[in-house]
């Protein structure tokens, strides 16, 4: 979840304050569009806005349309492209074309549905917001759309009328082992949108001085991970090289919904790890979930380079699947 991803929460806040709110969502893109499908901008009735649908290119034009939609009470679909006569006026000089759905809360998007969506997001429950542009029907569902949930990808269904906006929980990263690679990986992951937690019972490693401002849990990994509720939006990275620390965490990670499980170590170390897991009763399918040796093979040598390779592999699995 990036800084623009709290649009539903802000919309509800403005509605409750009596200011009114309009949600503008990117529903389709072509070419070099600056924001991906599903990106949102929220506009209050007094013109205040938060978020982005184009990185600043067309926000002014969208705000004008949103305020008009708030008055007439109907949703509208906007389209902007570099080839349009209005392209220069709205500022979409970066190329590409975008379509944007503008929905006044209450008149188009039911307020009760928005409250349900915000509650689901607060509970870290993955949900999909469906809107049929032909009929105006709207629904919030937690079943179906398995591929969209797995790849975090909003978009139109094959009929071209039903738009599905995926609202997955924010990404989390659990790092077991507050080692030098973690010192590089944690800030990189935070920039990429992850909320990191570092687990290490060794006080000399997991210290505020080594990880300023980060969440550090000094419990044994198995105890800490039981409390962290590892889910489908969680990546687990094991960096200690110590089976006493890595293995208990690995047992929990492999039987959780974590989308990524990576373990540091050579091929020989990983072979020993597999043997221990087999002895512990793990199946071949469960063991195959481990990315080990960890990271994409980019020839990384230094801790920061290894961190880059790990984050790249996490991104690959998140966006394209294992």
pLDDT in tens, 72-128: 999 999 998 755 554 445 445 555 788 999 999 999 999 999 999 999 999 889 999
Q: Region 56-79: what's the mean pLDDT?
A: 91
**Rounded distance between C-alpha atoms, residue 50 and residue 75, angstroms:** 19
Closest alpha carbon to 42 in 79, 4, 97: 4
Domains and CATH numbers, the chain: 7-167 (no CATH), 172-320 (3.40.50.720)
Q: Look up residue 300 and give its two tokens.
A: 């990384």
Tell me 108's DSSP state: T
**Rounded distance between C-alpha atoms, residue 185 and residue 192, angstroms:** 10
Q: What is the pLDDT of residue 31?
A: 73
Q: Model-level pTM? A: 0.73
pLDDT in tens, 247-278: 999 999 999 999 999 999 999 999 999 999 99
Rg (Cα) of the chain, in Å, rounded? 22
Distance of CA 101 to the CA centre of its chain: 21
Q: What share of residues in the chain are helix, strand, coil (percent, to 5)?
A: 35, 25, 40
């Amino acid at each position: 979840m990036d800084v623009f991803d709290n649009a539903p929460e802000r919309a509800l806040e403005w509605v409750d304050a009596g200011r009114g709110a309009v949600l503008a969502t990117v529903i389709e893109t072509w070419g070099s569009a600056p924001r991906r499908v599903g990106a949102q901008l929220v506009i209050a009735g007094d013109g205040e806005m938060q978020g982005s649908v184009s990185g600043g290119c067309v926000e002014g034009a969208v705000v004008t349309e949103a305020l008009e939609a708030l008055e007439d009470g109907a949703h509208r679909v906007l389209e902007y492209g570099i080839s349009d006569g209005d392209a220069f006026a709205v500022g979409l000089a970066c190329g590409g074309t975008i379509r944007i759905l503008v929905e006044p809360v209450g008149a188009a998007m039911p307020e009760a549905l928005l409250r349900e969506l915000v509650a689901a997001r607060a509970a870290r429950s993955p949900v999909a917001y469906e809107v049929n542009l032909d009929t105006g029907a709207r629904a919030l569902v937690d079943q179906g759309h398995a591929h969209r949930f797995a790849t975090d990808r909003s978009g139109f269904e094959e009929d071209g009328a039903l738009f599905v906006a995926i609202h997955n929980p924010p990404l989390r990263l659990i790092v077991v082992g507050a080692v030098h690679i973690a010192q590089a990986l944690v800030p990189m992951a935070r920039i990429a949108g992850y909320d990191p937690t570092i687990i290490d019972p060794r006080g000399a490693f997991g210290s505020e001085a080594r990880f300023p401002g980060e969440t550090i849990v000094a419990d044994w990994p198995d105890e800490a991970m039981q409390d962290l509720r590892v889910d489908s939006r969680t990546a687990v990275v094991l960096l200690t090289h110590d089976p006493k620390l890595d293995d208990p965490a690995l047992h929990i990670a492999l039987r959780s919904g974590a989308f990524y499980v990576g373990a540091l170590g050579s091929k020989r170390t990983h072979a020993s790890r597999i043997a221990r897991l087999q002895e512990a009763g793990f199946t071949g399918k469960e063991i195959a979930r481990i990315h080990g040796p960890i990271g994409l093979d980019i020839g990384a040598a230094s801790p920061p380079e290894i961190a880059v390779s790990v984050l790249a592999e996490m991104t690959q699995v998140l966006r394209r699947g294992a």
